Amino acid sequence: MPDTDYPPIEEHAVIGDLRTVALVATDGTIDWYCPQRFDAPSVFASLLDAERGGSFRIHCPDSHAKQLYLPDSNVLMTRFLAPRAVGEVVDFMVPMDSDVTETPHVVVRQARAVRGTASFRLRCDPRFDYGRTAHTVTLIPGSGAVFESVTGTLVLRTSLPLRVEGTAVYAEFDLANGETADIVLEWNATIRPLVTGEADALFTRTVNYWQSWIRRGRYHGRWREMVVRSALVLKLLVYRPTGALVAAPTTSLPEELGGVRNWDYRYTWIRDAAFTTYALMALGFTDESAAFMDWLEHRCHEAPTESGLYVLYSVDGNPHLDEMVLDHLAGYRGSKPVRIGNAAAEQLQLDIYGELMDSVYLYNKQVPISFQLWEALGRQLDWLSKHWDSPDEGIWETRGGRQRFTYSALMTWVAFERACRISRQRGLPGPTNDWKDLAGQAYRFVQNESWNPQRGAYMEYPGSERLDASLLCMPLVKFSGPTDPRFLSTLDRVGEDLVSDSLVRRYAADGSDGLTGDEGTFNLCSFWYVEALTRAGRVSEARMVFEKMLTYANHVGLYAEEIGPSGEALGNFPQAFTHLALISAAIHLDRALT
């Protein structure tokens, strides 16, 4: 299949309902949608196979397209600029939150003519269960069409005249200036005619929901537009029924075109969710943090005493995420394998306890945590006290064998140091002296074992010759002062070895991570670099790097996981890690400039 069948990753926006999302390309195609929840099987996945994946397109032929979000919302508008007409398609999903009427898994697409007479074409071609399950299609005149499979039913509600070709439906229609055509897509619903004004009412409810939510934020700095967009993206990645936050809503978008670094990110990593909680709290959104704390308490209570927390979970808390390959899918632009599930769930990543305790510490400063959560956390710290000095796979989930990663020891220090702080500030019971001693041991390990005086830097692990961009976090978590000589030297070495202009690699791609091929620069690390420069007092340099990084956002302000050699987006999209790091960098840089 030619590359032209696959829009660039960055040529997408995202809509969602706090259960799942849909990706909408600039050509008006929904090419990724998993109904009901983030990690459910897809019905539209042409992003991963243009022939077998399925898609839903509404567009104006022979036009030039542009996209934007309606202000302070996750309602998307795609404008089609034709020589004698302008058409628009407004896409949104109705948020399924406690303060709005529950509407089951609705995708609304409104086609409009705003200048002249606009000609539209519609093609809805679902493929159930990642394209593995056959379906039938039935037209209901005046109401739409029903797509039925053994895995579920997709209902397309519209008054437009449709025709069936194979197992897809098509329509061509013209709208005069000011006219609108409504199309509503529902999962496992009963088909019925669209009522006049029904889609408009859903539109108003959705816009009001998002604008009301974002008004609660308290960032009013120089980069409000980008920070607000990042907050809205993070909110979309929350699974409302449980409070879990997914790392990204997609799977198998490659870190290198044609490479094998294709992973399923539709799950909740303890690390990512903890960082996301911090970012939302920093902006004043505490309800999401409270929901995550409840989810976290359940995970801590369920964690086996002999193994501690799992690295990642499904949105409903299931830690058993068997990784499998979908051989029948071609992959994005031929990038195979296409994976679902994630074997990293079985890895040992000791750093997660540090990120976890840091987020609990920050949350507790605003909302006192419950005694039940404190007790559950204490059991996790007991496990960590017995295993913190074990080799692990580390933050980057390497598959080249376990090491005693410096970042894991750094986060061990954070875990026990924050536990001491919470206990002291709240008067909560705990073996504070033991925690203080363990924090000291982890601190000395980093300083004595991971520092390389010849390189003048902390290395990835003792004896390694490789730098690790995760150690840019040292002043962010207050392990070292931002102007500590060792950290400043490490910052310089990272700048020399891992930074190209504003773009930062995680580590040198030398194959020691157990995977073949290369990867792009890591957006998370680039924003960590901005914050490290800011804290080190190199504010002008930090601002220039930050401003350059903003140019790598896509047309609606979204980031994938990585940036490729030509500035293209790589990896799963949009990625929570990138947007939360952008928020933190913007807050601290704005404060320094002010």
Please state, in angstroms and rounded to a whole number, the distance separating the CA atoms of residues 406 and 412: 10
Q: Cβ distance 414 to 531 under 8 Å?
A: no
| 512: confidence class by pLDDT, cuts 50, 70, 90 | low
Q: Which CATH number goes with the domain that contains 330?
A: 1.50.10.10
Instruction: Tell me if 215 is assigned to some domain.
Output: no
pLDDT in tens, 141-198: 999 999 999 999 999 999 999 999 999 999 999 999 999 999 999 999 999 999 999 9
Residue 562: phi, psi to the nearest 5? Answer: -140, 165
Look up tokens 């390389």; give the residue. Answer: 452
Instruction: Tell me if 488 is assigned to some domain.
Output: yes
Please provide the distance, in angstroms rounded to a whole number, between the alpha carbons at the two ends of the chain: 52
Same domain for 128 and 273, yes or no, is no
Same domain for 21 and 57, yes or no, is yes
Look up tokens 């894991």; give the residue. Answer: 408
Instruction: Tell me if 252 is assigned to some domain.
Output: yes
pLDDT in tens, 64-92: 999 999 999 999 999 999 999 999 999 99
Helices H / strands E in the chain, number of each: 13, 28
Same domain for 231 and 102, yes or no, is no
Looking at every residue in the chain, the average pLDDT score rounds to 94
Q: Which residues neighbour 17 within 8 Å (Cβ) at sequence distance 6 or greater?
A: 93, 94, 95, 96, 105, 106
Per-residue pLDDT for 261 more than 70? yes
Same domain for 325 and 461, yes or no, is yes
pLDDT in tens, 552-593: 999 999 999 999 999 999 999 999 999 999 999 999 999 999
Instruction: Tell me if 202 is assigned to some domain.
Output: no
The amino acid occupying position 228 is V
Range of the domain at 98: 9-196
Tokens of 256: 């290198």
Closest among 459, 533, 544 to 495, alpha carbons compared: 533
Same domain for 329 and 249, yes or no, is yes
How many domains does the chain divide into? 2
Task: Provide the pLDDT for residue 465.
Answer: 92
Per-residue pLDDT for 518 more than 80? no
Q: What's the rounded mean pLDDT across residues 493-522?
A: 83
Same domain for 481 and 587, yes or no, is yes
Same domain for 227 and 167, yes or no, is no
Q: Which CATH number goes with the domain that contains 59?
A: 2.70.98.10
Task: Provide the pLDDT for residue 3.
Answer: 64
Task: Provide the pLDDT for residue 68.
Answer: 98
Same domain for 181 and 227, yes or no, is no
Task: Provide the pLDDT for residue 345.
Answer: 87
Q: Cβ distance 40 to 321 under 8 Å?
A: no
Task: Provide the pLDDT for residue 397.
Answer: 84
Instruction: Tell me if 579 is assigned to some domain.
Output: yes
Of the given ranges (42-46, 99-103, 309-313), which has the lowest mean pLDDT?
99-103
Task: Provide the pLDDT for residue 100.
Answer: 46
| 278: confidence class by pLDDT, cuts 50, 70, 90 | confident
Residue 112: phi, psi to the nearest 5? Answer: -135, 150
Tokens of 113: 């003519």
Per-residue pLDDT for 489 more than 70? yes
Same domain for 379 and 307, yes or no, is yes
Please state, in angstroms and rounded to a whole number, the distance separating the CA atoms of residues 51 and 329: 9
Task: Provide the pLDDT for residue 503.
Answer: 96
Task: Provide the pLDDT for residue 494.
Answer: 97
What is the number of alpha carbons within 13 Å of residue 373 lying toward its C-beta? 22
Instruction: Tell me if 204 is assigned to some domain.
Output: no
Q: What's the rounded mean pLDDT across residues 259-277?
A: 89
Task: Provide the pLDDT for residue 101.
Answer: 46
Task: Provide the pLDDT for residue 99.
Answer: 45
Instruction: Give, in order, the Cα–Cα distances in Å from 209 to each of 212, 239, 323.
Output: 5, 16, 36
533-572 in b/e form (b: 16+ CB < 10 A) is bbbbebeeebbebbeebeebbbebbbbbbbbbeeebbbbb
Q: What's the rounded mean pLDDT across residues 241-246?
A: 92
Q: What's the rounded mean pLDDT across residues 15-25?
A: 97
Question: What's the alpha-carbon Rg for the chain, to the nearest Å?
Answer: 24
pLDDT in tens, 362-406: 999 988 999 999 999 999 999 999 999 999 999 998 877 899 999
Same domain for 229 and 181, yes or no, is no
Instruction: Tell me if 208 is assigned to some domain.
Output: no
Instruction: Tell me if 216 is assigned to some domain.
Output: no
DSSP single-letter state for residue 369: P
Residue ending a domain, among 196, 212, 239, is 196
Task: Provide the pLDDT for residue 102.
Answer: 52
Closest among 108, 154, 88, 99 to 15, alpha carbons compared: 108
Please state, in angstroms and rounded to a whole number, the distance separating the CA atoms of residues 397 and 208: 40
Above pLDDT 70, what percent of the chain? 97
Residue ending a domain, among 178, 196, 214, is 196
Task: Provide the pLDDT for residue 276.
Answer: 84
Please state, in angstroms and rounded to a whole number, the distance separating the CA atoms of residues 439 and 442: 5
Task: Provide the pLDDT for residue 573.
Answer: 98
Burial of 446 (0-12, 13-18, 19+ CB in 10 A): buried
DSSP single-letter state for residue 260: S
Same domain for 128 and 230, yes or no, is no
Report pTM: 0.95
Same domain for 398 and 465, yes or no, is yes
**CA 305, 417, 432: angle at the middle one, nearest 5?**
70
